[in-house]
Amino acid sequence: MDGGDGRALSRQETVDWLRLIRSENVGPVTFHALLRRYGTLAAALDALPELAARGGRKKPIKICPRSLAEKELAQLDKLGGHAFACGHAGFPAQLAALDDAPPLLFVRGHPFLLERPAVALVGARNASANGRRMARALAHELAGEGLLVVSGLARGIDGAAHTGALETGTCAAMAGGVDVIYPPEHQQLYGDLVDRGVVVSEMPVGTEPQARHFPRRNRLISGLSLGVVVVEAALKSGSLITARLAGEQGREVFAVPGSPLDPRAKGCNRLLRDGAILVESARDVLDGLGPLLRSDPHEAPGRGYLFGALGWDGDMRAEAEVTPMDLSDQELARARREIAELLDPTPVAVDEVIRQCQLSPAIVTLVLLEMELAGRCERHPGNRVARRQDDIADAS
């Protein structure tokens, strides 16, 4: 893990990390790429203007001022919260293995619970009485076996899962700030989670959740967990997005079967048809997670942090590849044009971009970094990237 040494960051270092991730157009993948490329936060911050300009940005990029980062940490302090840096002490190992792991995780409640192996329980907001009962029972039994039950504090299945596991261990991943209760009717449950469980978020304190925040929250739910159990879900639902992310992250996917006459069961039945593990009891989940529960949590599923973030297949060819330093300005400009032409608003895997343009991973990584900082492309879960629609319009 780049920059990870098992220690906790100092206050000043945390401020620097926060400045970089809160700077304009810097997402998790770009954060890690910058830190890996420049070695220090100061050097990465200094490089932002030039990289954005090379990516085609016309106006200066906004860099988060130190005063704003210090203010955000002070707000977290008032809540009695904690900030944990990816790859450092206190940050969940499962989550750190993702290519788009949040650089900083903000926590309220009892952080030690994040050291436990975790399983996610998600499902429909308009869940049936039987679905809620099943979620509570599964969560209670799984937590009783020493697992941390992770969910999203939503209505329905999420709330039932948190309630069932509250006595022994549950975690709520928030779409907004770690202090913003959503939905409002879960105020009491949120208070119980802070008192007896743990609440996590990557968003600034006080952030009200918006629709675009929930996919990022869903990747936290699956990323924290060894596997995801879907109890009830319609065919087009956030729960199926979480299940898809789990599959992309190398996690196990489980589903509770339901009546084909109930729309809330169609998503689960589809997952089962596609190969998810059928769940009738907590024992099915424990058996499905058996090998993972016995493995080293630092050897998380998936291709791993380093190769996944860089966007290659992990065959250790990096040292033999052509690097940006080997190309002339004209060749780099041609590479930028070629990569931009390959991208459209539909997300595509970075590996596919590398295959089609036949440029080295180092070149593609640099060009995508420049484009993202310029606001011309955006990252998506699963190490995918898409060109912004307005950038295509400007180029036409």
Lowest mean pLDDT among 139-153, 186-200, 266-280, 354-368: 354-368
Residue 324 has pLDDT above 70, yes or no: no
Percentage of the residues of the chain whose pLDDT score is greater than 90: 77
The predicted model gives 343-357 an average pLDDT of: 93
Gap between the Cα atoms of 13 and 69, Å rounded: 11
Percentage, residues of the chain above pLDDT 70:
89
Q: Looking at residue 392, what is its pLDDT?
A: 78
Q: What is the pLDDT of residues 95-147, one digit of tens each?
A: 999 989 999 999 999 999 999 999 999 999 999 999 999 999 999 999 999 99
Confidence check: pLDDT of 300 > 70: no
Select the more confidently predicted residue: 372 or 319.
Answer: 372
What's the whole-number average pLDDT of the chain?
88
pLDDT for position 109: 97
Amino acid 326: pLDDT: 60
Q: What is the pLDDT of residue 315?
A: 31
Inform me whether the pLDDT recorded for 178 exceeds 80. yes
Q: What are the angstrom distances between the C-alpha of 146 and each of 116, 277, 286, 301?
A: 7, 21, 11, 20
Q: Which of 41-55, 323-337, 376-390 has the lowest mean pLDDT?
A: 323-337
Residue 177 pLDDT greater than 60, yes or no: yes
Whole-number pLDDT of residue 323: 56
Q: Is the pLDDT of residue 306 over 80?
A: no
Q: What is the CA radius of gyration of the chain?
A: 21
- How far apart are the C-alpha atoms of 302 and 298, rounded to whole Å? 12
CATH fold, domain 107-293, is Rossmann fold (3.40.50)
Q: What is the CATH number of domain 308-395?
A: 1.10.10.10
Per-residue pLDDT, averaged over 282-290, amounts to 95
Sign of CA dihedral 317, 319, 324, 330: negative
pLDDT recorded at residue 330: 82
Is residue 310 over pLDDT 80? Answer: no
Confidence at 296, pLDDT banded by 50, 70, 90: low
Q: Is the pLDDT of residue 383 over 50?
A: yes
The predicted-structure confidence for 188-238, as pLDDT tens digits, reads as follows 999 999 999 999 999 999 999 999 899 899 999 999 999 999 999 999 898
- Could you state, in order of their start, the residue ranges of all structural domains in the chain? 11-93, 107-293, 308-395
pLDDT at 313: 32
- Side by side, the strands of the sheet bearing 148-151 are 82-85, 104-109, 198-201, 170-173, 148-151, 118-122, 227-230, 252-255, 277-278
pLDDT at position 376:
94
Residue 368 has pLDDT above 50, yes or no: yes
- The pLDDT, as a whole number, for residue 380 is 86
At residue 307, the pLDDT reads: 24
Q: Is the pLDDT assigned to residue 282 strictly greater than 60?
A: yes
- Please compute the mean of the pLDDT values over residues 50-57 and round it to a whole number: 93
Torsion angle of C-alpha atoms 164, 169, 173, 177, degrees rounded to 10: 110
332 — pLDDT class (breaks 50, 70, 90):
confident
Mean pLDDT of 275-282: 96
Q: pLDDT per residue over 41-53, tens digit each?
A: 999 999 999 999 9
Comparing 102 with 391, which gets the higher pLDDT? 102
